[in-house]
Amino acid sequence: MVRFRDSVDMRIINDTEHGSTTYKNGIIDSQNDVGGWPVLKLEKAAPDADGDGIPDSWEKEHSLNINENDAAMFTLSDTYTNIEVYANSLVQEIAENEYK
């Protein structure tokens, strides 16, 4: 099972796999109907000197300028912007292992 699923994902997957429904009173009207909000685990954001949404460490690793907002540029790909290349790198392992 993918390790990035939260309690909401797990409830939906469990209901789907077992043909059951955790909540039986129709449309969910409130988070209280399904046990409240899940605990959201937060981490401190990685340094990002230029504020472009790409961490400095990743920019350095891919020869981008940490002081230039280059998220919308096509430096790393002719097809995808730098921010798209970065975003895809975050889920690369998941995508590669999806059908294994």
State pTM to two decimals: 0.61
CA distance 100 to 90: 19
Give pLDDT tens digits for 82-96. 999 999 999 988 888
Cα dihedral 21→24→26→31 (10° resolution): -80
Tens digit of each residue's pLDDT (9 = 90 or more) over 10-54: 888 888 888 877 666 666 778 887 788 888 888 899 999 999 999
29: tokens are 């009207």
How far from the centroid of its chain's Cα atoms is residue 85's Cα?
14
